[in-house]
Structure 1
């Protein structure tokens, strides 16, 4: 069973911030205004809560959630995200997020091969929930697809990046 101690501090920070990055990539792919961003943020947070309460959740996922719940863990994530995304445009956020997820996939494959598939699937699930969070309106004002073409394309890129 993989734990935080199996990673260097830098690697752990990358793994720790990956759920946030998985959601950010989708949000940046097609920003949907204040309410849309709030719904997307809630969807990402709900995935963390669901993992915490799921007795069958992958142990590495649970370790990330547990660290995410601490003030030190949140401060670590905040600092790492600010460093990685400083001055980024939405397009930059998507490309930087995909690069970060590629790094995490490599770390997981090397350091946690038994837990990597489940953890990567969890990251993909977070991305999907964020994409489906706000209902997009079509040009007539009626409810349209739950995710835009840009979000769908980013989901596909996340799947390729994570090899899920």
Structure 2
């Protein structure tokens, strides 16, 4: 079973931030205004909390949730993302996130191969939850498309980065 001790400090920080990366990639694909971004961020957090009691998410996802329950874990995840994405345009940030997810997949495949499939599926589900959280287009919440073409393409990119597709 994969636990935090299986990974080096930098590896764990990258893995710790991976649920936020999966969601953020979708948000960056087609930002949907302040309310939409809020709803998408909330969906990412809810997906993270949902892993706590979901045996299908696997031990690695549950270890992330356990670390995120403390302010230190949340701070490490935020700092890792901030350091990687600072000063980048949304398009460049999205590409950096996809590259980081590819690194996460490689680390998990190498150091926790038994946990890797469930973990990568869970990360893809986090991205899907974010995509479904807010409709794109429309006006004041009316009309629009639930999941835009750009978000659909990004879901495919996330799956490819995780080698889950």
What is the TM-score when the length of structure 1 is the normalising length? 0.94
Q: Secondary structure at the match of 2:10?
A: helix
Residue pairs, 1:14-163, within 5 angstroms: 14-138=14-138, 142-163=142-163
**Structure 2 stretches lacking a partner, 5+ long:** none
Alignment length (residue pairs) = 163
What's the offset of the Cα at 1:5?
0.2
Q: Distance in 2 between matches of 1:98 and 1:65?
A: 21
Q: Is the 8 A contact 1:24 1:93 kept in 2?
A: no
Structure 1's consecutive aligned runs of 4 or more residues displaced over 3 angstroms after TM superposition are none
Q: For the aligned residues, what is the CA RMSD?
A: 1.5
What is the TM-score when the length of structure 2 is the normalising length? 0.94
Q: Distance in 1 between matches of 2:73 and 2:43?
A: 20
What's the offset of the Cα at 1:144?
3.1
Q: Secondary structure at the match of 2:103?
A: helix
Q: Is the 8 A contact 1:136 1:146 kept in 2?
A: yes
Q: Distance in 2 between matches of 1:40 and 1:18?
A: 15
52-61 or 64-73, which moves further after superposition?
Answer: 52-61
Q: Distance in 2 between matches of 1:7 and 1:126?
A: 22
Q: Secondary structure at the match of 2:134?
A: coil
**Structure 1 stretches lacking a partner, 5+ long:** none
What do the CA deviations read for 1:106-148 (whole angstroms, capped 9, x no partner)?
0010000000000000000000110111022358x85232111
